[in-house]
Amino acid sequence: MSEFAKRLHQLSERLSYLRDIFPGKHEEELALLQTRLDEAQAAAENASGEESGAGLEALEDLFFFIECKLEDKLTPMDKVRIVRHPQRICLRDILENVYDNYTEIGGQDEHTIDPAMLIARAYITRKRGGQVYHQPVLVIGHEKGHGEEFRNGGSAKPWGNAKAKHYMGVAETEGIPIHAYVFTPGGYPLEEYPGAAQQIARNIYEMAGLTVPIIAVFSEGGSGGAEAVSLADRRLMLSHGYYSVISPEGAAAIEGRLRNGERASAELVERCAENLHLTAEDNLKFGYIDKIIQEPVLGARPYHYEFFRTLRQEVLRATDEVVLRARGFAPLRAAALHRLHDRELNLDEFYVRWDLSRAARQRLVEMRQNKFIKASHSVCKNNRSVAGRLGDAWSEQWWEIYNRLIYDFYHRNRRTIRNLFEELGSEWDMFKMRLLRTWKRQEAQELAAEEELTSLSEWSEDERGWAWVSEKAREDRAVTCPYAARRGCMDMWAFDLYNEFAGVCSSCGHHFPMEYQWVMNNCFDKDSLYEFNTEVESGNPLRFPGFDEKLAAARKKTGLKSACITFEARLEGIQVVVAILAGSFRGGSVGVAEGAKFVAAADRARRKRCPFIVYCHGTAGIRIQEGTHGVIQMPRCTVAVRRYIEAGGLYLVLYDTKSYGGPVASFLGCAFYQFAIRSSSIGFAGPGVIKNTTGIDVPPNHHNCYHALSRGHIQGVWDRRDVRANLCQAIETMGGRNLYYR
Amino acid sequence: MRDIAEVMAELKAAPYTEKAVVAPHTGVVQFSDVEEGSEVFGPTGEWQEIPGTHIATITRERNPRNIVTAERGILRKVCRELDGTFVEAGTMLALVRHYLTRQEVISRLLMESLYTFCAPERARYYFAPDVDKKVKILGCRTVSVQEGMELFIVSRMKREAPLCYAGPSGIIYEVCFDQNRNVDAGAPLIVVCPPEQEESVEDVISRVEREWSDGE
């Protein structure tokens, strides 16, 4: 093909790209380009090479002019279409053009456990003063492969995320930085082992404590799938990318209340994309990304070589910055950091060692954790007075000091002496027992015989009543078990079912859904509940249209201010901190307020060295109306949980009714001890979402808690009536060493 | 085992089954807007998760319960005179006529006129070596079986044991299992036919396959 034909072909490709990005929009401009292109093609056949070359140059200028004009008119949905276009750069283009050499590990092309997840050991060569340095880096990311079908659009399956986690461990062992590239529309919703939600939760938990620098670059950040590899020290975002809690189409389906695969109108999708605030500028403003990398006009494509140079400089800059900050303050390094901000600096000729000392690694993790804990703090609606907040801060410090004095100093030394005395006492008892064995045995036999002859059997009053009884028990009606046809269950009187039976079918044991108050009031010691952070209230940080009214309705219906209730209580006298996700408030969805309350509860449990119990009465996932403010709660709360667990606490999650989405795929799913109340459902995406995204029908009991138990997601299934007893046993037998009662 | 011609005559006379939809318990019945002569369906979906056609709602103690059809067919009768009244358990509410499909007719013919020998436990089954050879070379219908004959080898978790045939004497009309696959307990292994009936069975079955139309 001649050079001229090649250029014409490129223009035709650019035009088809424009048509894909702007379907049904800017038709006048696109028609003009089409006419001019047709004319150029016709002229090329008749005119001489020189004439047609000049004409083509003018046409290229026209293309560029119109592209620049359209760039200014880009809507959020246009950006979504740019990101999804097969011509957009993908991870392999980045590996080819940003890094000096790379080797794919963990499989190649379709010969890998999950082609949507690509892992490569790459290196970057830098020169300083004639000396060459090869700096290794582990590249992890989603591969869309320019529309290759087996890549699944970059939607990683659970085992793909497991592969990523495995190689993160390798990078940590080798002490090399990780560059994570996020090109995913979301995680693939599969419940097969290890389970989509469970694996994403494990990845987030792992990254929260990884002791090597992590840099994430977002192009397409689709909710949970993106979070699985993006809990990073620096988060960069491509200017035409998006980072969102849900796809605009998904949000439109929810907003439009569409069922059975009905399609939302283009206007509604466009409106939802706008309301979700998913662009790079929005996310930079919220503080969930650190920097925007400017792309060429209408998005980067594989032939934009200058863009790859910019990207290389930015990832180098980010890695150097993270490493230097983790090493601690020093005048020379501060000067280096200052120089790094100079845009003219060529980082290929600048060298920073990327290995970190043990102390620096700890500092790195701490800084990363602090960064996420602080995220979304400014948008949290907290009605607590200034005096109250000061009191809280003082009380936190007091508990810190008190616990250090009591448990770290007094108890630790006292325990040593007490242990010594206990050992000696046991030895003495054994000695006495051996010495007096014969005499004691005879005496015991005589006593037992006497007791049998003289005492009466004891009559114990069987206490069947519950402290809290559901309103449903007041209804004068019979209730049919949903399994009556299959298991032959008899109808039950609502009064019996919701009162004495605790919502459990007396025939087959099916658990009817109950209110969150049942566990709250029946499973902890009487009058021991003390609710805190009651002033934190769910808000509408994105000003999502119509959401304020929905929130007001939820508040009125439930009497709650958010879906999360946090309180202190006692279980057989042991102080515990409890967080409840109440399914009755906006489906138990998690937003900024819920995240803030959860983080505060985890922190309180850590300070007071109490067990931290989360009762997930029900959750539909992350609250979509809060956009990335909601999705950031996934890493944020997981970091809080990791801090708590590493401090030696007991973090226990109990699922009831239905638990899906982001919370299960992060701070709930990462718990070492997870249990479910019988008849509950646990999963990543509901049956409707699975059908819409994968086209696969799932059986009615696909999310049943016993399936979660079989694949190892949860550790046990409890009867509702045994929750209190099981919780008591758990706090006595499970958890770390740093609980106040141990 | 009955004579196949007799069974066939019965089926031709009434090529359907009729099943009454009855009240599962006492209560007040409210019929839905189904009409006599309309088509109704049983549970559908890959896991039978979509319930059948809604016929009526029965309410007892303020507990409404839907009554649905259990199989596909034509609604022959709807007892509308019971609408809004209190009925006893077992009262007929509607009558569904289900027309037999070709497969159902063949299965019924074979079940009633021939003998099916079933797997006693979940395992892999093989014919005994001499029977196996004969089946492979000459076909199953050349093999005669009688009570007590050592016919199968049961292979389960690397252990093998012989299995004797129990049932009436005859020839193996059909082999229903695959030698390399596990067979569930209760699934048919072979269908045995008395030698004198072989020709008439074949004739009837081929006629059904040729002439019977589904979903009349």
SS3 for A54?
Answer: helix
Whether B25 sits inside 8 A of A479 (CB atoms) is: no
Q: Residue A368 falls within a domain, yes or no?
A: no
Minimal-distance CA residue of chain B relative to A480: B63
Q: What is the pLDDT of residues B77-130, one digit of tens each?
A: 999 999 999 999 999 999 999 999 888 888 888 888 889 999 999 999 999 999
Minimal-distance CA residue of chain A relative to B51: A485
Q: What is the mean pLDDT of each run of 10 residues along chain A (742 residues)?
A: 82 93 91 91 73 80 93 94 94 96 90 94 90 95 91 92 96 96 92 91 96 96 93 96 92 82 84 94 95 95 94 93 83 68 76 91 95 91 86 86 80 77 87 82 82 71 76 93 91 94 95 96 94 93 93 95 96 95 96 96 94 96 94 96 95 96 96 96 89 84 93 95 95 90 83
Same domain, A274 and A208: yes
Q: What pLDDT score does A330 carry? A: 63
Q: Residue A462 falls within a domain, yes or no?
A: no
Q: Is A700 on the interface with B (CB under 8 A)?
A: yes
Whether the CB-CB separation of A659 and A619 falls below 8 Å is answered with yes
Contacting residues of A for B45, CB less than 8 Å apart: 697
Minimal-distance CA residue of chain A relative to B46: A699
Same domain, A502 and A525: no
Same domain, A542 and A624: yes
Q: What pLDDT score does B216 carry? A: 45
Whether A478 sits inside 8 A of B47 (CB atoms) is: no
DSSP code per residue over A368-424: HHHHHHHTTGGG-EE---HHHHHHHHHHHHHHHHHHIIIIIIIIHHHHHHHHHHHHH
Taking CA atoms, B35 is separated from B21, B76, B164, in Å, by: 14, 9, 54
Q: Residue A364 falls within a domain, yes or no?
A: no
Nearest CB to B49; choose among A475, A477, A700: A700
Q: Is B65 on the interface with A (CB under 8 A)?
A: yes
Q: Is A260 on the interface with B (CB under 8 A)?
A: no
State which of A483, A510, A537 marks the end of a domain.
A510
Q: Residue A417 falls within a domain, yes or no?
A: no
Same domain, A298 and A165: yes
Q: Is B66 on the interface with A (CB under 8 A)?
A: no
Whether B63 sits inside 8 A of A699 (CB atoms) is: no
Structural domains in chain A (count): 4
Q: Is B60 on the interface with A (CB under 8 A)?
A: yes
Nearest CB to B63; choose among A477, A697, A700: A477
Same domain, A12 and A97: no
Whether A478 sits inside 8 A of B62 (CB atoms) is: yes
- A260, A474, A480: best to mutate for the B interface, most B CBs within 10 A: A480
Task: Report the gap between the CA of B147 and the closest CA in chain A (Å).
Answer: 38
What type of residue sits at position B55?
I
What type of residue sits at position A243?
Y
Whether A478 sits inside 8 A of B63 (CB atoms) is: yes
CATH number of the domain that residue A654 is part of = 3.90.226.10
Same domain, A187 and A245: yes
- B61, B66, B69: best to mutate for the A interface, most A CBs within 10 A: B61
Same domain, A505 and A526: no
Q: Residue A384 falls within a domain, yes or no?
A: no
User: Can you give the pTM of this predicted structure?
Assistant: 0.86
Q: Is A477 on the interface with B (CB under 8 A)?
A: yes
State which of A510, A540, A557 marks the end of a domain.
A510
Same domain, A500 and A523: no
Whether A480 sits inside 8 A of B65 (CB atoms) is: yes
- Look up the domain containing A26 and give its range: 3-73
Burial readout A25-46 (b: 16 or more C-beta within 10 A, e: otherwise): bbeebbeebeebbeebeeebee
Task: Report the gap between the CA of A478 and the closest CA in chain B (Å).
Answer: 5
Task: Report the gap between the CA of B21 and the closest CA in chain A (Å).
Answer: 14
Same domain, A488 and A522: no
Q: Residue A28 falls within a domain, yes or no?
A: yes
DSSP code per residue over A261-283: TPPPPHHHHHHHHHHTT-BHHHH
Contacting residues of B for A697, CB less than 8 Å apart: 45-46
Phi-psi sector, A599: left (phi>0), alpha (psi -120 to 50), beta? alpha
- A491, A495, A690: best to mutate for the B interface, most B CBs within 10 A: A491
Q: Which domains does chain B have, with CATH numbers?
A: 4-99 (2.40.50.100), 103-211 (2.40.50.100)
Q: What pLDDT score does A334 carry? A: 65
Q: Residue A456 falls within a domain, yes or no?
A: no
Whether A699 sits inside 8 A of B46 (CB atoms) is: yes
Q: What is the pLDDT of residues B152-197, one digit of tens each?
A: 999 988 788 999 999 999 999 989 999 888 999 999 999 999 888 8
Same domain, A56 and A96: no
Contacting residues of B for A475, CB less than 8 Å apart: 62
Q: What is the pLDDT of residues B1-24, one digit of tens each?
A: 777 888 888 888 888 999 999 999
Whether the CB-CB separation of B154 and B172 falls below 8 Å is answered with no
Helix/strand/coil percent split, chain B, to 5? 25, 40, 35
State the CB neighbour count (10 A cutoff) for residue B28.
15
DSSP bridge partners of B174: B191
Whether A479 sits inside 8 A of B60 (CB atoms) is: no
Share of chain B above pLDDT 70, in %: 98
State which of A261, A292, A316 marks the end of a domain.
A316
Q: Say how far apart CA A407 and CA A412 lie, in whole Å.
A: 6
Task: Tell me, rounded to whole angstroms, the distance of Cα B68 from its chain centroid.
Answer: 21
Same domain, A195 and A250: yes
Nearest CB to A477; choose among B46, B49, B62: B62
Same domain, A581 and A710: yes
Strand order in the sheet with B170-175: B115-118, B188-193, B170-175, B144-145
Q: Residue A349 falls within a domain, yes or no?
A: no
